[in-house]
Amino acid sequence: MERIHDHDPAMPASWNRATKPHRFCPGCGHGIFLKALGEVIDELGIAERTVFGCDIGCSLLAWDFLNVDSVQTHHGRTVPVVVGAKRANPELIVIAYMGDGGGYAIGAQHLVNSAMRNEKITVLLANNTVYAMTGGQMAPTTLPGQTTGTTPYGRDPDATGQPTLGPEMVAAITSNSAYVARGSVSNYPRLKQYVRQALENQLAGRGFSFVEALSGCPTNWHTNAKQTWSYLDDEMTKYFTLGEFKTPGQAEGGEDK
Amino acid sequence: MTNVIEAEQRSFMTGNEVVAWAALAAGAEFMYGYPITPQNEIMHYWTRLAPKFKRGFLQTEDELSAGFATLGGVMAGRKSFCATAGPGNVLMQEPISMAEMMRIPAVWFIQQRGGPSTATVIYSQQETRLTCLGGNGEGNRLVYSTASHQEVFDYAIKAFNNAWNYRFPTFVLGDGYQAKMREAVTLYDPAQRGIELHGTSRMLGRSSKQLDGQQVRHYRNTFNIEEELYETLMQHIADWDHMAEEVVEWAWEGDEEPDLLLVAHGVVSRAVYAAYEHLKSAGYNVAYFRPITLRPFPVAALQRAAGRCRQLLVAESAYGQLLSLVRDSLYGKTCAPIEGLLRPGLGITEELVVEWAQRLLARVG
Amino acid sequence: MVERVEAFVGEYAAGKSEVAVNRALALRQQGKQVTLVDLDLVEPTFTLRPLKHQLEGQGLNVIAWETAQTFGLGEAGMQLHPQARSAMLRTGHLVCDVGYGVFGSEVLNLVEGALACPHLGVYLVVNTTRPMTSSVDLILEEAKLFNPLHGLLNNTHLGAETTVELVQRGAQIVQVAANELNLPVIATPALAEIAQQMDGYDVCGNPVWPLRRYLQTAFW
């Protein structure tokens, strides 16, 4: 990690210093997820080859976050954009960065199809159970009973189903050369390891890679610091299991952290 | 159904809220939607109020599904509506095209934002062309462009009634400014003002009471032979022309031989009307024209208004979308120069219109 | 450590921001140290942000993003300012402009420690011309969302159409609701032109707060 002056905070070299401090809310998980990504890009030495795509919603705040060529796409369309780039130039390392709305709602068809085609891309998805940027509406991963802008009386699973289990779905449909995992910003070393394995999978040209990160959103959860971590570690993990769901060459299966 | 509004009340609220209340008052039973700024409050209010009035809601996975689910609801015989903005409106063109072809009376509320693409979330009039003529057809739609909360309420009721009467996709075209601005509005029960709500009918599915003697219905929107498409479409167009005569609306004020005719729609018409009054009281010879239905566009009325004018000024928060409609209407009817005050995505103030108008009026001398 | 926290909560477009700004300035006039915090996390357009500089010029500390820092970021640009979290570490008074939503007083969790402040006032701003708070029963239903809640404010108005009579009718409705809740009506905020005609108190004997319009109707 690069440290230029004593009073400059240390940050990955692949981070764009000019746009720091960033604009994510205090307590937001995106900063942590992107730090893991930044460190991995540095360690693998792939910054020059990397293309970073982000979605709409809070992920769009990452459009100038990294020191790599980046494109903010339309909502749910980051995956097809990076697929196009990767097929045009397979030398590139392409990353599609999005939230649970972009990945599991409007972008679901693209996620499913690129996973089925085993596109050699890496999808990184921050799951905070809400559509944060637009003011906290229900998301595919909203928990049963959770109050949101469009579930003012709490999410009723009879009416709108259970929270979407993205990595489980992706693992079920991808080839055995794919890498699929779910981490949490609350366990940084493990999350970083998953991100690294995901990018290594693409580097090795093996196939699709997907990492979901349970991510905090105190702004839309209306939680203080203690409650935020508790929601991540105690509530969300009741529905979203942490672990690796597919590692190349092995049969499907998830291991708890 | 419980009365949504017991007695007329004068309320202070934002435009998005008015949409939710108006849809309730108009008898809408279902809303399908997807989050996109600046129309989210329509959903926030509908979801809070819907259970009290036994209405339904679903936030779908995207705008495509929200639009198509709205079609399904309408075809099954329930008044259903959708709301969106910007890139969401672009996606809606697919279900809207199906509604045009298959004569499905769905209603949309559009809160325009800056474009193209994600652009800004605030305001524009850049979805005029899209809302009137988007999709791969001939624009067989009914589009109202509102300029006040009262109009949003009044025209929402009209929109549902006219949709179910004439069976064309119908739109209330607002914008982010109207969506968020706060002003007073009178909420009322249409019945108390003698407005009858149009009944519904089912295109799909039958209640058990209807089983005897009812023909099974098959719907399609594909055609094998061009001639068949032509005939079907020409019939739709004839129906649309008939509707156009009955629904077209506009506002026109001022001199019949003005030195300058000011034209604007939607919320910009408020600033333009204020400018018109200002110029009139300053002694200028001016007139004001505002299309209220953008589709059908009040062609004949504009031709009359512009018949003997020296020049026109069209003001819009877009780059020529209203201007094109104006030019199209007046082709061959006037040699008067038609100038555009074009501000894509930016607000237009009374002062700016007055400044431009005075410059143009000076030319005429 | 902040000594007093006042949070203005309530329905969408009830007038919370206008009341919060005016209250903050009034406290400043009394010589207090005041920090105004923007907790409006949903509404991208009708917020304190365009006012930050102007209010700072009038002696307030304002924790909010500046318009230029948030516009142009595509969707809503509604992020919380990092300094909001640690706002309790300041001194004097903290006035919170709390945006709307169905989360009630929990929004104050975002200001670490605010809910534990011994001098906390969470005040429900009510405009009885709004359908969801137009009767005593409806106001009581709205008030249920907020726990804790320490008082009500009668902000009944119809914009440019406001009359003294309307404000007084609102005062009476809000007073009945407040009595049911065993809470005080803190004040009746009213635009200066209206306030002038009311002689300092509304018909229920509660103080009138004269308001100056700060939040623009044209917000670009």
**What's the pLDDT at A225?**
95
**What's the pLDDT at A28?**
95
Closest CA to C5 of C31, C34, C42: C34
pLDDT category at B2 given cuts 50, 70, 90 is low
Interface chains of chain C (3 or more CB pairs under 8 Å): A, B
Answer yes or no: is pLDDT of C195 > 50: yes
pLDDT in tens, B159-183: 999 999 999 999 999 999 999 999 9
pLDDT in tens, C120-172: 999 999 999 999 999 999 999 999 999 999 999 999 999 999 999 999 999 99
**What's the pLDDT at A30?**
97
Strand A93-99 and strand A50-54: the pairing is: parallel
**What's the pLDDT at C219?**
46
Mean pLDDT estimate for chain A: 94
pLDDT in tens, C61-71: 999 887 777 65
d(CA A209, CA A171): 10
pLDDT category at C215 given cuts 50, 70, 90 is confident
Side-chain-facing half-sphere of B79: CA atoms under 13 Å: 23
The strand pairing partners of B31, in sequence order, are B57, B81
CB B86 within 8 A of CB B119: yes
**What's the pLDDT at B212?**
63
Fold of the domain spanning B250-364: Rossmann fold (3.40.50)
**What's the pLDDT at B361?**
96
DSSP string, B128-153: HHHHHH-SSS----EEEE--SHHHHH
Q: Identical fold at B9-193 and B250-364? A: yes
> Max CA-CA distance within chain C?
48
**What's the pLDDT at B4?**
86
Q: How far is B201 from chain A (nearest CA, A)?
A: 26
Residues of C in contact with B120 (CB under 8 A): 71-72
Number of residues in chain A? 257
Among A216-230, A237-251, B13-27, B128-142, the least confident range: A237-251
Q: What ipTM was assigned to the predicted interfaces of this complex?
A: 0.91
Q: How far is A202 from chain C (nearest CA, A)?
A: 30
Give me the mean pLDDT over the B57-82 stretch.
Answer: 97
- In degrees and rounded to multiples of 5, residue C42 shows phi and psi of -120, -40
Answer yes or no: is pLDDT of A74 > 80: yes
3-state SS assignment for residue C181: helix
**What's the pLDDT at C50?**
79
Strand A69-72 and strand A50-54: the pairing is: parallel
Answer yes or no: is pLDDT of A96 > 50: yes
**What's the pLDDT at A255?**
45
Tokens of A11: 């940050």
Under DSSP, the state recorded for B332 is: T
Give me the mean pLDDT over the B22-39 stretch.
Answer: 96
Binding-site residues on chain B for chain C (CB distance < 8 A): 5, 9-14, 17, 21, 37-38, 40-41, 44-45, 48, 118, 120-123, 176, 180-184, 187, 346-347, 349
Residues of A in contact with B63 (CB under 8 A): 106
The conformational region for residue B324 under phi > 0 = left, psi -120 to 50 = alpha, else beta, is alpha
- In degrees and rounded to multiples of 5, residue C89 shows phi and psi of -80, -5
**What's the pLDDT at A254?**
46
CB pairs under 8 A between B and C: 72
Fold of the domain spanning C2-211: Rossmann fold (3.40.50)
**What's the pLDDT at C135?**
96
**What's the pLDDT at A252?**
46
d(CA B235, CA B225): 16
Binding-site residues on chain B for chain A (CB distance < 8 A): 33-37, 40, 43-44, 47-48, 51, 57-59, 61-63, 87, 117-118
CB C184 within 8 A of CB B33: no
Nearest to A133 among C65, C75, C107 (CB): C75
Among A149-163, B257-271, C203-217, the least confident range: C203-217
pLDDT in tens, B200-219: 999 998 765 666 667 888 99
Answer yes or no: is pLDDT of C3 > 70: yes
**What's the pLDDT at C78?**
65
Fold of the domain spanning A17-246: Rossmann fold (3.40.50)
pLDDT category at A190 given cuts 50, 70, 90 is very high
Residues of A in contact with B35 (CB under 8 A): 101, 131, 134-135, 137, 149-150
The strand pairing partners of C201, in sequence order, are C207
**What's the pLDDT at A256?**
40
Question: Which amino acid is it at B115?
Answer: G
Q: How far is B40 from chain C (nearest CA, A)?
A: 10
- In degrees and rounded to multiples of 5, residue B143 shows phi and psi of -130, 120
Nearest to A24 among C41, C79, C102 (CB): C79
Give me the mean pLDDT over the A201-223 stretch.
Answer: 97
Q: How does C114-130 read in b/e, with b if 16+ C-beta sit within 10 Å?
A: bbebeebbbbbbbbbbb
**Tokens 């108008």 -> residue:** B357
Asked if the Cβ–Cβ distance from B182 to C159 is below 8 Å, we say: yes
d(CA C213, CA B66): 39
Give me the mean pLDDT over the B320-345 stretch.
Answer: 97
Q: Residue B85: closest CA among chain C residues belongs to which residue? A: C75
- In degrees and rounded to multiples of 5, residue A212 shows phi and psi of -100, 140
**What's the pLDDT at C71?**
53
CATH number of the domain at B9-193, please? 3.40.50.970
**What's the pLDDT at B122?**
87
**What is the pTM for the complete model shown?**
0.94
Domain boundaries, chain C: 2-211
Which one of B17, B37, B178 makes the best mutation probe of the C interface by having the most chain C beta carbons within 10 Å? B37
pLDDT in tens, B46-64: 999 999 999 999 999 999 9
**What's the pLDDT at C220?**
37
Residues of C in contact with A54 (CB under 8 A): none
3-state SS assignment for residue A1: coil
Domain boundaries, chain B: 9-193, 250-364
**What's the pLDDT at A3?**
55
Q: How far is B45 from chain C (nearest CA, A)?
A: 10
For CA atoms B267, B268, B271, B273, give the dihedral sign.
negative
Percent of residues in chain A assigned helix, strand, coil, to nearest 5: 40, 20, 45
d(CA A106, CA A102): 6
pLDDT in tens, B141-161: 999 999 999 999 999 999 999
Inter-CA distances, C133 with A93, B12, C167, Å: 55, 11, 14
Mean pLDDT estimate for chain B: 95
Residues of A in contact with B40 (CB under 8 A): 134-135, 137, 149
**What's the pLDDT at C48?**
76
Share of chain B above pLDDT 70, in %: 97
Closest CA to A219 of A24, A34, A25, A29: A25
Asked if the Cβ–Cβ distance from B36 to A134 is below 8 Å, we say: yes
Strand B250-254 and strand B286-291: the pairing is: antiparallel
pLDDT in tens, C13-48: 899 999 999 999 999 999 999 999 999 877 766 677
Asked if the Cβ–Cβ distance from A105 to B37 is below 8 Å, we say: no
